[in-house]
Structures are given as C-alpha cells and as structure tokens.
Amino acid sequence: RPKMKDNPKVTYLTPEEITKITDNINTKSQAKFKNRDLCLFKLGVSTGLRISAIVQIDIDDIDLKHNQIRVTEKGDYDNYVLFGDNLKAQIIAWLDDRKKYFPKCESQALFVSQFNRRISDDMAAKILKKYSDGVTDKHVTPHVMRHSCATNLYEKTGDIYLCAKQLNHKNVSTTQRYAELSKEKQ
C-alpha cells in the first residue's frame, strides 16, 4: 500500500476576518502601538513572510523608493519582498510614530517594544492573539498570516506558481499545502 501523506488542515484567515482584525487593531490599541501593530499584521498577511523574518527587519532594509524590503529568510537566505502602496503608507505611518513615541530607541529594528528593543516572535504572537480574540474561533498564530496570504492570493489568481514565488518556495508542491481553496470556491 502507498504511504498516506499527513496533510493537516491549513488554518487561514478570510478577507472578512482580516478586515475585522484590522478594525480591532484600530479600535483597541494604544495610540503609540496602533501603527506598529497594523504594520506588523498587514506585512504578514500581504507578503506571506515568516514571523522570524518580519521581526528581523531593520529600518535600513526598507526601500520606500522601490517598494521593497530586504529580508533574511529561513536558511540565512537574503531576499527582496515587494509591497504595494497601501502597505507603504502603513510603513511610513509606523516609522513616523516610531520617531515620535520612541525617540531614545537606539535599535535599528523596525518593530520595537515599549522597552525600545526589537520585538520577539513570541511578542508578535501575543499581539496577533490579542487582536484576533473574538473575531474567529480559529487558533490564530503568526504562521496563519502566511497561510492567509497564500490561500487568499491563490483564490484571487488561481496561480500556484505566483504563490510559490511570493512565499519563496523552491518547490511548488510545498506551496500546494498552503494554498487551499475555500469551500465556497470549490
């Protein structure tokens, strides 16, 4: 008999859930962290970056002229990720707030905590959990942002190769487990 492949159910956020979480961030966050949390969340769901790559972004990694960010991916692989004008506006808003609320911060980290230090993967997970509570019954982790990017991109385009490129997968079969079709689409 052929081996059964373990293909666990992929958890992802629908566009409606993404909107509700964004609304939660807008209404529930402290003024000095609102744009940081929005930027962190939007960066995750729109680029599909792993949380480890997101929290390692430094300010000088961002190229606002060409709408791209240099990131170090899994396996110490440097890559450039493109972003759109909506995310660009959010990054600019956070950079302005960062200067305003954290003037003594010496770290070059894009995302900093109230203690003027780079936020950790765990801190990002807590931020996401805080704003996703009450929006969905799904167990929302930082990796769910990556799944959401892949699934929503695949639903809109139907192009698995585009999804693979966006997630920086070498093999399309890796992307197939992320890119699930919703029941409605099926």
Catalytic residues: 50, 74, 143, 146, 169, 178
Give CA–CA dist 79/69, Å, rounded: 8
Q: Please check whether residue 80 is in contact with residue 9, taking contact to mean a CB–CB distance below 8 angstroms.
A: no
Q: Please check whether residue 81 is in contact with residue 88, taking contact to mean a CB–CB distance below 8 angstroms.
A: no
Give CA–CA dist 34/25, Å, rounded: 6
> Comparing C-alpha atoms, which of 149, 144, 139 is closest to residue 169?
149
Task: Extract the tokens encoding 29.
Answer: 């966050």
Task: Extract the tokens encoding 129.
Answer: 């959990």
Q: Pairing relation of β-strands 68-73 and 62-63? A: antiparallel
Half-sphere CA count of 116, side-chain side, radius 13 A: 9
Give CA–CA dist 61/122, Å, rounded: 22
Which amino acid, residue 68? Q
Element (H, E) at 35: helix 31-47
